[in-house]
Amino acid sequence: MTIKIAQLSCGTEYSSVQYEIEKAARSVGATIVYPDVSAADIDKAVADFGFKPRSPQLKLMIARAEALASGRYEADAVFITTCFRCAEAALVRNELRRYIQEHTNLPVVTYSFTERLKASQLLTRMEALVTIVTRKELLARERQTGLTVGLDSGSSTTKAVVMENNKIIGKDWTPSGAVVIESATQVLNNALEQAGVTLDQIEAIGTTGYGRFTLGEHFKAKLVQEELTVNSKGAVWLANRQKGEATIIDIGGMDNKAITVRDGIPDNFTMGGICAGASGRFLQMTSNRLKIDITELGKLADKGDWRNAKMNSYCSVFGIQDLVTTLGEGKKFEDVACAACHSVAEQVYEQQLQEIDVRHPIIQVGGTSLISGLVTQIGEVLGEQPIVPPDSQYIGAVGGALLSSGFL
Amino acid sequence: MSEERETRLYMISPRSMLTPDQLVRMVHAFGDKALVKETCYGCLVEAPRSENLAILAKVREEYPNEVFSKIRAYRCSDPRRCRAQHGTRPGFAQLEEEWALLAKIQYGLDQVEKGAKYKPLDDKKRLDVNAFKKICEVQ
Amino acid sequence: MKIFIDPPNSLVLFDLVERFGHEPLSTMAAIQERVDNLEVDMPPMNVTLDDVVKGLKYAGIEVPSGVRGRLALWGPLIEEADAAIVMEDCPYSFGCVGCERSNLMVKYLIHRRGIPTLMVKYPETDEEAVNFVAQAKEWMEGLK
């Protein structure tokens, strides 16, 4: 079955990125389609929608969204994308995302591109769209059964979890090395030892994260799946929030994810960060500069006040400049640590959370959720303290173990 | 240069009684090397440029003011622009709108042929504020 | 003479320019050049990263890529043109003319070149269409 992803866009063909979008879709077994509309539909759809952009292509986007919402055109998922730095398009993009979600059950992803966009950057997003469409039943799975393993090969750390009958019986993590198989083998062996089982007893393995394909092949995994859907399953399982709505925030080592779920199934997500500034990487750089271990950063930050040392982590280069300047000014370490956490929280709010409608509760996961100062700052920026479930750094591995048990 | 591939789109004005089928038959009669594809609005003709220009001259001679044409970047049925592959491309809506305008342009060409001349029109001026005030007062 | 048409993909303007004895410079020609290039495989239009980068000649890096990509197509045509015909207030402008910012910039680039330019209003009625055709014809005959 080929999944039809409806593209609502402006500027892709003139930015040399249309080919990359289609390539990413093809590589996950999907095809890009444009909902058919006539000239008369466009005027009516724009009038009904109520936002009248000056750019005609944006009007066409609105008409195409209306064709999907009314059911006149059928597709399985929606990809809304416009040029980065175009204010008019950014307004339309976000409002159309909201409109599609209000009027359809289709999974949606939005993206603002530059001319440098490559298919690989879209791969995880496209794969997640396809997973949500094709694996609805698997994603609805709430209990882990049998004896399974989840491996999460992330950009910063590699994690392994062994689960048996809906319980974690072994787990380990390590910083990701140059060879993903080596890091994974190490954490897997430790987790197996802790669980008191051997690899040949394992009934199924699920892999996720950047190294998922390599690990999937090496360990003959039954499930090889992108981290957006896998992490969200792990998060709701760990937080025991399988029913109802939630927003999952995962500030990763290289990019951030914000995922909304309904009854444990993701329906909208954003992933990104213009650069590493707004991610865990910036906090690692801050720790290095302060000559403390990353595990101490959170407690230190909780003692400080970010207002005393303003910092902007929009870009990691400028962020480090701010860091150097504030330290040079003799600011207190705790204030600097707090400012770094606050800055990352602000960026997540300004970038990721503007592209989804936040649903409550907010569940914060991933390795960075162990940095208490960051969780505090996310709470301060959002006006609501996030839930951090136990073993929150193992979401990907838990999701992998949980979902792979669906293949038994 | 004259042997370069040229794909030309012919569109019949909605005011015309001509059908795409009639137009296609006429084009076939003049163009030996032309690939002709009938469309809902007229036809697409693909031929070396020199031949295309000869066909265009004939079309203008036979149906002077009711058939319009422009070149098309893509070859006939190019999968990159084919509607069957992805659904309509953005330019489709533009063609629909321009098709409706052709009725007026046909009328304009007919009248100009009969000797109509350009008459500069007065720019619409905004209502004088005093005049507007008076209207408001009357209300 | 070579006449740049704006909207650059307009059937009506392309037809009239050719009908009244001039060579229209249009988007279609610029795109044909690209889609016929078999060495490039960037469907659907073969507008490449190089094109978008070349667009920096007309607009800075802070301008969205879609604007620069479009200007990379039209800029050279405007530079090549001897004259230009611009239809204002078009109700239609999709596809390559879908970005209003790019459209504004095209009009400005034409103005900056200082070539003879006819600005015409989109005809709403039969009478306006007569005036439009007559004006375009007289102007183009005057260019010869």
With an 8 Å Cβ cutoff, is C105 touching chain A?
Answer: no
Q: Structural domain of residue A164, as residue ranges? A: 143-229+395-407
Q: Residue B116 contacts by C-beta under 8 Å, 6 or more apart in sequence?
A: B108, C130, C134
> A348 and A400 share a domain?
no
CB of A106 closer than 8 Å to CB of A76: yes
Please give the Cα distance from A107 to B73 (Å, whole number): 35
pLDDT tier at C104, thresholds 50, 70, 90: very high
Q: Residue B71: which CATH number?
A: 3.30.70
Q: What is the CA radius of gyration of chain B?
A: 21
Nearest by CB to residue B88, choosing from A32, A34, A57, is A34
Whether A235 maps to a domain, the answer reads no
Contact state of A11 with C64 under an 8 Å Cβ cutoff: yes
pLDDT at A29 over 60: yes
Total of domains in chain A: 3
pTM value?
0.86
Q: B29 falls in which pLDDT band (50, 70, 90)?
A: confident
pLDDT of residue A285: 87
| In-domain check, residue A191 | yes
Q: Examine residue B72 and state whether it is found in any structural domain, yes or no.
A: yes
Backbone angle region of A228, left / alpha / beta, with phi > 0 → left and psi within -120 to 50 → alpha = alpha
CATH number of residue A155's parent domain: 3.30.420.40
Q: Does A39 touch chain B (CB under 8 A)?
A: yes
Write out the H or E segment, with its range, that includes residue B48. Answer: strand B42-48
The reported pLDDT for the residue numbered A76 is 96
Q: Contact, B104 vs C125, CB < 8 A?
A: yes
Give dist(CA A39, CA A42) in Å, integer: 5
Which element (helix H / strand E) includes B21?
Answer: helix B20-30
Q: Average of pLDDT values for A156-163?
A: 95
CATH 3.40.50 describes domain C2-143: yes
| Distance (Å) from the alpha carbon of A250 to chain B's nearest alpha carbon | 35
B82 contacts chain C (CB < 8 A): no
Measured between CA atoms, the residue of chain A closest to residue B80 is: A19
Instruction: Specify the pLDDT at position C95.
Output: 63
In a domain, B130, yes or no: no
A42 vs B contacts (CB less than 8 Å): 93
Question: Domain residues for B109?
Answer: 5-113
Which amino acid, one-letter code, is at A49? F
C contacts of A89 (beta carbons < 8 Å): 64
SS3 string of chain A? CCEEEEEEEECCCCCCCHHHHHHHHHHCCEEEECCCCCHHHHHHHHHHHCCCCCCHHHHHHHHHHHHHHCCCCCCCEEEEEEECCCHHHHHHHHHHHHHHHHHCCCCEEEEEECCCCCHHHHHHHHHHHHHHHHCHHHHCCCCCCCEEEEEEECCCEEEEEEEECCEEEEEEEEECCCCHHHHHHHHHHHHHHHHCCCHHHCCEEEEEECCHHHHHHHCCCCEECCHHHHHHHHHHHHCCCCCCEEEEEEECCCCEEEEEEECCEEEEEEEECCCHHHCHHHHHHHHHHHCCCHHHHHHHHHHCCHHHCCCCCCCHHHHHHHHHHHHHCCCCHHHHHHHHHHHHHHHHHHHHCCCCCCCCCEEEECHHHHCHHHHHHHHHHHCCCCECCCCHHHHHHHHHHHHHHHHC
Q: Is the pLDDT of residue C93 over 70?
A: no
User: Average pLDDT in the A148-160 region?
Assistant: 94
| Chain C residues touching B109 at Cβ < 8 A | 133
Any idea which of A211-220, A257-266, B110-119, B124-133 has the lowest mean pLDDT? B124-133
Touching A: which chains, 3+ CB pairs < 8 A?
Answer: B, C
CA distance B132 to chain C (A): 27
pLDDT digits (tens, 9 = 90+) for C17-42: 999 999 999 999 888 888 888 777 77
Q: Residue B123 domain-assigned?
A: no
Contact with chain B for residue C10, Cβ under 8 A: yes
Pair (A13, A123) in one structural domain:
yes
Residues of A in contact with B86 (CB under 8 A): 32-34
Segments making up each domain of chain C, as ranges: 2-143
Element (H, E) at B5: strand B5-12
The answer to whether the Cβ–Cβ distance between A14 and C66 falls below 8 Å is yes
Instruction: With beta carbons less than 8 A apart as the criterion, state whether A231 and A260 touch.
Output: no
B71 token code pair: 């070149």
Check residues B89 and C59 and name the one with the higher pLDDT: C59
Q: How far apart are CA A395 and CA A208, in angstroms?
A: 10
pLDDT tens per residue across span A285-330: 889 989 999 999 999 999 999 998 877 766 666 777 788 888 888 8
> A253 and A380, same structural domain?
yes
| Over residues A242-257, mean pLDDT | 89
Domain count for chain B, please give it: 1
The answer to whether C56 touches C68, Cβ cutoff 8 Å, is yes
User: Contact, C109 vs C78, CB < 8 A?
Assistant: yes
Q: In Å, what is the CA distance from B38 to each residue of A189, B23, B26, B45, B51?
A: 68, 9, 12, 9, 18
Average pLDDT rounded to a whole number, residues C36-65: 86
Encoded amino acid at A264, one letter: G
Model pLDDT, residue B1: 40
Cβ contacts below 8 Å, chain A against chain C, sum to 96
Cβ contact, residue pair B108, C91, below 8 Å: no
Q: What is the pLDDT of residue A275?
A: 58
Domain presence at residue B99: yes
Give percent of chain A above pLDDT 90: 73
CATH number of the domain at A86, please.
3.40.50.11900
- Name the pLDDT band for A350 (thresholds 50, 70, 90): confident
CB atoms within 10 A of CB C142: 9
One domain for residues A209 and A338: no
Q: Residue A337: which pLDDT band, with cuts at 50, 70 and 90? A: very high
Please tell me if residue C106 touches chain A, with a CB cutoff of 8 Å: no
B93 with A38: Cβ contact below 8 A: yes
In angstroms, the CA A221 to CA A212 distance is 9
Which sign does the torsion angle of CA A218, A219, A225, A230 carry?
A: negative
Q: What is the DSSP letter of B124?
A: P
Contacts of A35 in chain B (CB under 8 A): 87
Q: Which two tokens stand for residue B139?
A: 């209300």
* pLDDT score at C105: 95
Question: What number is the average pLDDT over the span A219-231?
Answer: 95
Residue-wise pLDDT tens digits, A376-398: 999 999 999 999 999 999 999 99
> How many angstroms from the chain centroid is the CA of residue B102?
6
Span B102-127, average pLDDT: 90
CA atoms within 13 A on the CB side of A151: 35
A55, pLDDT greater than 80:
yes
Q: Chain C closest CA to A169's CA: distance in Å?
A: 50
Interface test with A, best of B81, B83, B92 (most A CBs within 10 A): B92
CB pairs under 8 A between B and C: 119
Question: Is A234 inside a domain boundary?
Answer: no
